Amino acid sequence: MLFITLIVCFTISILITPMVKKLAFLIGATDKPNRRKVHQSTMPRLGGLAIFFSFIIGMVILQPENPASNAILFGCVIIVITGICDDLFELPAKYKLIGQLAAAFTVVFLGDLQVFFINLPFGGQLEFGYLSIPFTILWIVGITNAINLIDGLDGLAAGVSSIALVAISGMALMQGSLYVAIVGVIVLMSTLGFLFYNFHPASIFMGDTGALFLGFVISVLSLLGYKNVTFISFIIPVIILGVPISDTFFAIMRRIINNQPLSAPDKSHLHHCLLRLGYTHRQTVLLIYAMAAFFGVVAVIYSQARIGVSIFLICLLILLMEFIAEKIGLMGNNFHPLLKVLRMFGITTAKDRS
């Protein structure tokens, strides 16, 4: 039954997307080119509606059971309505945040989804206490926005989200979280059907309707799969979502370094930097896919390693991310603390020596 349902979700997503495309043009949910955009012509957005409809149909067919299921679905409806409004009217950031907070509060209070504590690797617990609700809401809103921020190239957010969903669903199966695995693959197949039209050259964008929905679902599923566990296990979803999280982190650092507001738009995200290095649109997307897959593989290795190896792996991963960020200019062209340290020890790259 699961396999048939997944095929149904994939097929429905493929069939509905052209209809959503016509609807987007009809109601004016379009994305016009400007100096910050990569595309050169007016494009229909709202494509996330096809993903959402396909997801709902899959959930109705399979009806996976979880105490928080109804709250999660209600939260999905709130986040999708927020995305639709933004695709239509380009909402100010504060109104989008209100919608995200409303969806997050829904799963926290109606679904009783909170991270109360984390077991530390060397004994003891980190109790969140009164901070459990703010921490959980911050995670949901943060990941939701992280997926939204990488939605800058054809097929980028859909592909990275699909890779993350594969990793989350696979890890959930390994840990016996059947609900997380089922919902994850339903969203995955719904997204892959849409990606058929969204990969470069795209004929439709997912818009905030899709980006917010995928970010919200991924954030909630990662919490369901790893809440109230060890510190080592809690890091797993952070690694799986390494691409959007790191891009968001470096965007925040970039704005702090340049004394800009955190909400200030720019063209220095990961995909922008790779395009400036000379990679084509499709090469950039595929390269970021590879990065996302790499993080997924690291997460699996990390989950099976001993504590000492896990900590070493995290440190190595952080250094690698910082090195890449400085090399491609994610924090600006003049902020290279790690590269300066490497040069002090005589460790340089071919580009540095030229």
Q: Which residues contact 241 (CB under 8 A, 6 or more apart)?
A: 143, 146, 164, 218, 222, 295
In the chain, the amino acid numbered 114 is Q
In the chain, domain spans:
2-353
What does the DSSP assignment read for 107-137? IIIIS-----EEE-TTSSEEE-GGGHHHHHH
CB-CB contact of 221 with 183 (8 Å):
yes
The β-bridge partners of 44 are 30
262: three-class secondary structure by DSSP: coil
Q: β-strand 43-44 against 30-31: which pairing, if any?
A: antiparallel
* C-alpha–C-alpha distance, residues 6 and 15, integer Å: 14
Token output for 168: 């989350």
Q: What does the block give as tokens for 129?
A: 């206490």
Exposure pattern of 131-152 as b/e (b: 16+ CB <10 Å)? ebbebbbebbbbbbbbbbbbbb
- Omega of the bond prior to 201 within 30 degrees of 0, cis? yes
Beta carbons of 212 and 82 less than 8 angstroms apart: yes
Instruction: Write out the chain's pLDDT in tens, 354 residues.
Output: 899 999 999 999 999 999 999 999 999 999 877 665 555 678 899 999 999 999 999 999 999 999 999 999 999 999 999 999 999 998 998 999 999 999 999 999 999 888 776 766 555 667 778 888 998 999 999 999 989 888 888 999 999 999 999 999 998 888 888 999 999 999 999 999 999 999 988 999 999 999 999 999 999 998 886 654 545 556 778 888 888 888 888 888 888 887 877 767 677 788 888 988 899 989 999 999 999 999 998 888 887 777 788 888 888 898 998 888 888 888 777 777 888 887 777 765 545 544
257, 261, 267, 273 alpha-carbon torsion, rounded to 10°: 30
First to last CA, the chain: 60
CA 226 – CA 239 distance, rounded (Å):
13
Q: What is the DSSP letter of 44?
A: E
Q: Which two tokens stand for residue 45?
A: 């957005």
User: What token pair was written down for 339?
Assistant: 């590269």
Q: Computed from CA positions of residues 26, 32, 38, 41, in that sequence, does the dihedral angle turn out positive or negative?
A: positive
Token pair 């530390």 is at which residue? 120
- Residue 133 carries which side chain, given as an amino acid letter? I
- Would you state the pLDDT for residue 350? 47
* pTM, full prediction: 0.88
Residue labelled with tokens 């340089």? 348
Q: What share of the chain is helix, strand, coil (3-state, %, to 5)?
A: 70, 5, 25
Cα dihedral 183→185→190→195 (10° resolution)? 140
